[in-house]
Amino acid sequence: MDTSTLVMIAISLIFLAVVYWKAPESAAKGLQASTALVLEIMPRMIAAFIIAGLIQVIIPEELIARWMGEGSGFKGIFIGIAFGTVTPGGPMTHFPIIASFYKMGMAIGPLVAYLTAWALLGVQRVIMWELPFLGPRIVFIRILASILFPFLAGWFSELLWKKLVL
């Protein structure tokens, strides 16, 4: 187990103890709600981990390294932006997949561009949430204001990575 897992376990146990101390019945309700949430999310997580593992077998590492690895430059960043824009799903299903790409040799620039495009420009979210709730005018302005950020984040992360990490 890593440090972040231990910290999360410790925090959850502290919260449980505090709630139990104040109102034992609330602790039981909280644990029931937690169980329901786990049962709801677990199938997605299992599917995401299966997809992430299979990606590492289906897609050759050389392909990821060539198109989005070290030295892929702007090409890798733009590919990351394209994939991030069209990749559906929330963080529970998305991050195991992006972690697979990173383990396969995806460089930091394309990875950050992918994540930033997924967060800012995700087509699925725009169609399902933004357009119906906010309307096309606001969505257009938001996308126009955000369109350069994935590129800038990918490019700048490459610069920082070379200066601070290597």
Reported as a single tens digit per residue, the pLDDT across 100-138 is 999 999 999 999 999 999 999 999 989 999 999 999 999
- pLDDT score at 108: 96
- pLDDT score at 45: 84
80 shares its domain with 159 = yes
Whole-angstrom distance, CA of residue 109 vs CA of residue 58: 23
pLDDT digits (tens, 9 = 90+) for 63-81: 999 999 999 999 999 999 9
53 part of a folded domain: no
Number of domains in the chain: 2
76 part of a folded domain: yes
Flag whether pLDDT at 93 surpasses 80.
no
| One-letter-per-residue 3-state SS of the chain | CCHHHHHHHHHHHHHHHHHHHHCHHHHHHHHHHHHHHHHHHHHHHHHHHHHHHHHHHHCCHHHHHHHHCCCCHHHHHHHHHHHHHHCCCCHHHHHHHHHHHHHCCCCHHHHHHHHHHHHHHCHHHHHHHHHHHHCHHHHHHHHHHHCCHHHHHHHHHHHHHHHHHC
Whole-angstrom distance, CA of residue 153 vs CA of residue 116: 7
What average pLDDT does this structure show over 151-162? Answer: 96
CB 96 within 8 A of CB 51: yes
Average pLDDT, the chain: 92
Flag whether pLDDT at 7 surpasses 70.
yes
Cα–Cα nearest to 154, from 109, 107, 114, 100: 109
Q: Specify which of 45-59, 79-93, 147-161 reaches the highest per-range mean pLDDT.
A: 147-161
48 part of a folded domain: no
71 shares its domain with 146 = yes
Q: What percent of the chain clears pLDDT 70, i.e. is strictly above it?
A: 99
What average pLDDT does this structure show over 35-57? Answer: 87
80 part of a folded domain: yes
Q: Which domain holds residue 68?
A: 59-165
119 part of a folded domain: yes
Flag whether pLDDT at 150 surpasses 70.
yes
- pLDDT score at 119: 94
Whole-angstrom distance, CA of residue 125 vs CA of residue 86: 10
